[in-house]
Structure 1
Amino acid sequence: MSKFEPNLLIHEKSPYLLQHAHNPVRWYPWGPKAFKKARAEDKPVFLSIGYASCHWCHVMEEESFEDHEVAELLNKHFISIKVDREERPDIDSVYMSVCQAMTGSGGWPMSVFMTPDQKPFFAATYLPKTSRYQLTGLMDLLPRISLLWKQDRERLLKIGNEITDQLNTNRRPSENVSLSEDVPAQALAELKASFDKVNGGFGTAPKFPTPAVLLFLIHQYKLCGDKDSLFMAKHTLLCMYRGGIFDHIGGGFSRYSTDDRWLVPHFEKMLYDNALLLEAYGEAYACCKNSLFPEIVDAAVSYVLEELSHPDGGFYCSQDADSEGEEGKYYTFTQDEILHVLGEEKGSLFCRRYDITDRGNFEGKNIPNLLNHSVLPDDPEDLQEMKEALYLYRKKRTSLSTDKKILTSWNCLMISALTKASRIFGRKTFLYAAQKAESFLDKHLRKNDGRLFLRWCGEEAAYDGQLEDYAFYSLAMLSLYRSTFLEEYLKKAVQAADLMISLFFDREHGGFFLYSSESEALILRPKELYDGALPSGNSAALHVLSILSEITGRSIYRDCMDQTFSYFSADLSVHPSAYCYALTVLSSQFHPSRQLVITAKKESLPEEFLELLSRRQMTDLTVLVKTERNKDMLAAIAPFTKEYPVLPDKISCYLCRGRACQAPVFDAESLEALLKEAD
């Protein structure tokens, strides 16, 4: 079970970590009680930040935190706090900045020593129990820090004040830079320079899927017709599928590849990676119609629904890389195992297809892959039966640990991905799964006033939603609205966006803070634009603002978007390829957009209209449907719609492009012709 599973280890109503045989350290949850206790006992604070699927978090847990000698030192001289970075990204972000400033790098597990006022004076990542090579061990470090706290405290307090002041100074707004089409063009040039023409992806090992980059490239092709952009995205998506980062037995993608060929993954599977890659494969398919992409998407969705789904519809965080203490044991096979499960004839065919040999391709065992085929072989008729047999075999052979936290932001990414995939691939079951997940969020993670919780676990919702929760939630609701045209989704999207602005937007300088004005204040209140494994909250917020400014016509969304771009303009100009998700919005600003308003007497559109709007995947098109029932609600959200009449006997379609509007048309065939004409 996950070492950072909150409801098993830390309970909010308990003063410290629930004690059990394997965890002698007295852990406290982050909060006023812990820091009050540190002041009362005159002790420094030891903060450990990790996450459920982190290999080195597990190593440090077993090596040090389950050790009674280490526990004795921590319990005697420190107040120890453990934080799951997925539950408290605000704390993680602040102290990651600290770690990077103090050491030049960062990562997990993160170890920070601080004053009871939360000011850090020492930071590191993994610390072994005892010193070895150039790594200082906890058994040496803890007594030294305790002694300094008692004998030279002023020095530690000075360090804490200086690093806090430095980080706050560094976050002051930079001078605004004028943003032009040159910025996306520069990002594209940077990506072309680092593109691996043979293996796909960017740079060298380790290789990450970087879905935000792939989505930017596809978007550039759609906007500008840049064929190199589409090739880079398509080639990377195909290479990842052929490699071991894709699970050819059970579907879904692992976290990243340790080599440059995508063969050997770090075997953990994350919900957000699979959500974003679903979107990338779907968007690429809409452009190039590669026949493999629907198969890849179906397999990935099947994995998520089978392995990461709560019975009531929410999605779990991740599955671990380790089985029985061995990384990849669950996913790898010997040749004899394949022959035993499938029989000699079918097993030999499977082994030839998926590079299964007696020697192995990973530590004497085999990761199934298709990298050795210059041309992919045709599927045998019974290939799916072979995969199902091996899937059942490996589930019985060993098990995986699943982190069963349900995070609002990650769930919203999967809702968006499923909804878009349902439109692109015509899979109604995907839309049903997305709607079921939305119902779960509505029941467990959304308050009556629209405010969001960050996570749900063990029948308990906890922590105030942060920027990415509101931004991704609004995008998920907009995606659901685009597929169903149910006004409840549009209403929720607008409510979340308005809360996002009121709780997170910096009205003085622009940009969105990571955590809410109503949340606990930390030593920093950061704003982030950098798109890592996940798009940043500010990048996602820009998408929300761009869409809603087009849908509603309300100036507040356009103004907040402009101010956010202005605040981050210097960062975007210096290294634009680090902000690809934001650049998809920026690049759209230099091209005319299209708005379609459809009015209809009945509550739902006829199937031919729904089919057309699903099939016509256009980057620059927003759609509103006005009916007799929703006209008042729509008028409040999008005041300009008051002028569009709902006719009793026909469906009316009004298309505008840029600042010019066309005469209305009244049937699906004429609407399709109008959309083609505007392409």
Structure 2
Amino acid sequence: MPNHLKTETSPYLQQHADNPVHWFPWCEEAFDKARAEDKPIFLSIGYSTCHWCHVMARESFEDSETAELLNRYFISIKVDREERPDIDAVYMAACQAFTGSGGWPLTIFMTPDQKPFYAGTYFPKFSRYGNAGLLELLPHIAKMWEKQRGRLLAAGEHMTLLLQETAYSNGTLPDEYLILKGVSMLKSTFDPQWGGFGRAPKFPAPHNLMFLMHYAVLTGDDDAMHCAVHTLENMFQGGIFDHIGGGFSRYSTDDTWLIPHFEKMLYDNALLIDAYTTAYHQTGRAFCLHVIQKTADYIFRELTDPKGGFYCGQDADSGGTEGSYYLLTPGEIIQYLGTTSGRRFCEWFHITESGNFEGKNIPNLIGRKNFLNKEMEPLCKEIYSYRLARHCLHKDDKILTSWNAMMISALAKAGFYCANPKYLQAAKKAQRFLEQQLCKPDGRLYICYRTPHEGLLDDYAFYAKALLELYFYTFEFEYLKKAEHTARRMMELFWDKNDGGFYLYANDSKPLIVRPKETYDGAVPSGNSAAAHVLALLAAVTGEESWSSARDKQFVFLASSMADAPAAYCSSLDAMCHVLYPSAELICVSSEPSMPDEAMEFLRMYTGTNLTVLFKSPENEAPLARLAPFTANYPLPPKGTRYYLCQNNTCSAPAENIAELFSKNTTD
């Protein structure tokens, strides 16, 4: 029987297209065959840059002995979790319920009607150290399917009912106590020496840092700002940051951020550009600008499609070994750079004969007080060329809507606050790519370029947020118009009108065994938290009751799920800060077609938060009034620009000088 993955476009599925396992993609044909042959389903979910996915593939899926058992007793389905996050979300929840943990590769045994009865993550080929091996597990489950099927069916029914139960209750609007509790929980787990929260493995979690910085500016909490900036500083010094080629790896396996899990993902780097930009804007620390520049350069060089979209990431493995692409020895450095430059390079980046990882070295700046050394930059470029010639990293060239939207947001923000038009142009080009390649004429979105899967909540929420960011950093009205349109489609397709919150997949999608509403912020903020940001910003910028009502209902929904552990929902807390702390609205009304340079420069230097800005001109007057009707009351001046500042439902007298207006009217 041929492998059914041959025609799939996913890089991950293509990696398994030549396996002896008779894989199917997720499709009705697979489930029909399972019912016809009375076999259970073996579901394997992973992604192309996942190290342990590769290990399990080499040990088992490329192995004829294991494949023979899978082909005899099961119908096997392979899913790319980045291409089908809806399927992954449902069965990851099942795995966590069964085992108390999750991760990838995700392994699920389930009935032909998609009900899971056994779950795990990585399984070795042979049993070892108390972990079941596939050679023992597969025939055991096959025997149970034949002799004790009732037990498996009962387990599947029980798990399905458990997943379908709602964990959300009717609640009330959140108050400041929820914010304070989240901050307190983060501070209680903060590592004062190395930054980050809790013990290893340490994940960057940029949305936690963004929340702390936002809160710090709103309240003057210097400790909260320190927690965030100290973490960003230590991550930069460690090996999780690629000092040679730029960009961040997935996470650190130790407390000091030295030893990473070496895969690089687009979403991590997008969110970290965002976080370092915020820190740079608020503190002016030079290392933040350095990180932004090197990370953006990495994205443009390694993960950017010629058409403007951004690829998913790069593998941890090279030459069959994790991290070998990045590891260096003093001998090869000196041989390539020469004795004098080589020794200076090794001394600066702590590259020694004894090594810091498996006898070799991960370059780092741990312990250095002066982080920046201009002499090293040309040497880093030379060693980067050496690395490229020595090894080749697998690249996952999928282009995902939600992850691209995160990078658009980050680059738009970095372009504005770092005064670098290259970043803003890249953000605009990527937005055009998404609009042309991943948006239907009716405004519906696809998840992935080249694969016609309908978009999920995350795609709409992050894309609408990216369009809002583009508007706030360019004041080009079309971005605001598109953001509002995308948000309306999000409401139509995903909104729970009765209980609030957004479902993961659309109301007209083919249903899975459960229709989840994800709220927990994991490696990336949840779609519901991104939607909360969109609703809060649209309510502020349009003044429309419909958006305010949806925002409030969304906050009630989120508060009901996060009350016990708000620090696990930092992006939602960040969104709530827009209404729980003082805010301001600035309306710029001008006879000119674009925002005046003086206003742009003032806003670039302004370090307050919770300020939303609208720009009205003769060109956008009519459509802006339709989107934000209150703007009709602000007359266009015959010449020049007039600024109106409103704070906490009170408006100040208009002014023709923006700096003077703010000096007279504090938003603190």
Which category of TM-score, normalised to the shorter sequence, fits these structures? over 0.9
Aligned to 1:455: 448
In 2, Cα distance between equivalents of 1:243 and 1:234 = 14
2:237 alignment partner AA: R
**Residues 411 and 9 of structure 1: CA distance in aligned 2, closer, same or farther (over 3 Å):** farther
Aligned to 2:643: 653
In 2, Cα distance between equivalents of 1:259 and 1:349 = 27
Is 1:48 the counterpart of 2:38 in the alignment? no
Aligned to 2:290: 295
Is 1:467 the counterpart of 2:462 in the alignment? no
In 1, Cα distance between equivalents of 2:372 and 2:8 = 53
**Residues 294 and 315 of structure 1: CA distance in aligned 2, closer, same or farther (over 3 Å):** same
Q: What per-residue deviation string (whole Å, max 9, x for no partner) do you get for residues 72-92 of structure 1? A: 222222211111111111111
Q: Give the Å deviation of 1:410.
A: 0.6
In 2, Cα distance between equivalents of 1:481 and 1:239 = 33
Aligned to 1:238: 233
Aligned to 1:605: 595
Give the TM-score, by structure 2 length: 0.96
- Unpaired stretches in structure 1, ≥5 consecutive residues: 1-5
1:376 alignment partner AA: N
Q: What per-residue deviation string (whole Å, max 9, x for no partner) do you get for residues 435-492 of structure 1? A: 1111111111111111110011xxx242111111111101100111112111111111
**Mean alpha-carbon deviation: is it higher for 318-327 or for 121-130?**
121-130
**Residues 10 and 43 of structure 1: CA distance in aligned 2, closer, same or farther (over 3 Å):** farther
Aligned to 2:101: 105
Aligned to 1:423: 416
CA contact (8 A) 1:355 1:372 kept: no
CA contact (8 A) 1:19 1:26 kept: no
In 2, Cα distance between equivalents of 1:265 and 1:77 = 39
Q: Give the Å deviation of 1:605.
A: 2.4
1:338 alignment partner AA: I
**Mean alpha-carbon deviation: is it higher for 138-147 or for 273-282?**
138-147
In 2, Cα distance between equivalents of 1:622 and 1:633 = 18
Q: Out of 50, 53, 60, which is 1:57 matched to?
A: 53
Q: Give the Å deviation of 1:587.
A: 2.7
In 1, Cα distance between equivalents of 2:181 and 2:413 = 29
Aligned to 1:218: 213
Is 1:197 the counterpart of 2:187 in the alignment? no
Q: Out of 364, 367, 370, which is 1:369 matched to?
A: 364
Is 1:625 the counterpart of 2:618 in the alignment? no
In 2, Cα distance between equivalents of 1:617 and 1:441 = 31
CA contact (8 A) 1:99 1:123 kept: yes
CA contact (8 A) 1:177 1:573 kept: no
Q: What per-residue deviation string (whole Å, max 9, x for no partner) do you get for residues 65-110 of structure 1? A: 1111222222222211111111111111110111111122211111
What are the residue-to-residue correspondences of 1:135-534 with 2, within 5 Å? 135-169=131-165, 171-176=166-171, 179-373=174-368, 375-376=369-370, 379=373, 381-456=374-449, 460-534=450-524
Q: Give the Å deviation of 1:376.
A: 2.0
CA contact (8 A) 1:179 1:573 kept: no
Q: What per-residue deviation string (whole Å, max 9, x for no partner) do you get for residues 210-254 of structure 1? A: 101100110111100000011111111111111111111111111
**Mean alpha-carbon deviation: is it higher for 103-112 or for 317-326?**
103-112
2:585 alignment partner AA: Q
Q: Give the Å deviation of 1:126.
A: 1.2
**Residues 353 and 7 of structure 1: CA distance in aligned 2, closer, same or farther (over 3 Å):** farther
In 1, Cα distance between equivalents of 2:124 and 2:372 = 50
Is 1:71 the counterpart of 2:47 in the alignment? no
- Of all paired residues, the percent bearing the same amino acid is 50
**Residues 377 and 615 of structure 1: CA distance in aligned 2, closer, same or farther (over 3 Å):** closer
CA contact (8 A) 1:450 1:495 kept: yes
In 2, Cα distance between equivalents of 1:309 and 1:283 = 23
Aligned to 1:592: 582
Q: Give the Å deviation of 1:639.
A: 1.4
In 2, Cα distance between equivalents of 1:552 and 1:21 = 50
Is 1:28 the counterpart of 2:24 in the alignment? yes
In 1, Cα distance between equivalents of 2:326 and 2:99 = 36
Q: What per-residue deviation string (whole Å, max 9, x for no partner) do you get for residues 187-230 of structure 1? A: 11111111111111111111111101100110111100000011
SS at match of 2:589: strand
SS at match of 1:597: strand
In 1, Cα distance between equivalents of 2:468 and 2:608 = 15
CA contact (8 A) 2:164 2:514 kept: yes
SS at match of 2:119: strand
- Paired residues, number: 665
In 2, Cα distance between equivalents of 1:138 and 1:611 = 62
In 1, Cα distance between equivalents of 2:271 and 2:4 = 28
In 2, Cα distance between equivalents of 1:7 and 1:663 = 68
Give the TM-score, by structure 1 length: 0.95
In 2, Cα distance between equivalents of 1:462 and 1:473 = 17
SS at match of 1:589: helix
1:462 alignment partner AA: P
Aligned to 1:3: none
CA contact (8 A) 2:582 2:667 kept: no
1:53 alignment partner AA: T
In 2, Cα distance between equivalents of 1:481 and 1:167 = 39
**Residues 475 and 618 of structure 1: CA distance in aligned 2, closer, same or farther (over 3 Å):** farther
SS at match of 2:563: helix
Q: Out of 81, 84, 88, which is 2:84 matched to?
A: 88
In 2, Cα distance between equivalents of 1:558 and 1:669 = 30
CA contact (8 A) 2:519 2:527 kept: yes
1:167 alignment partner AA: L
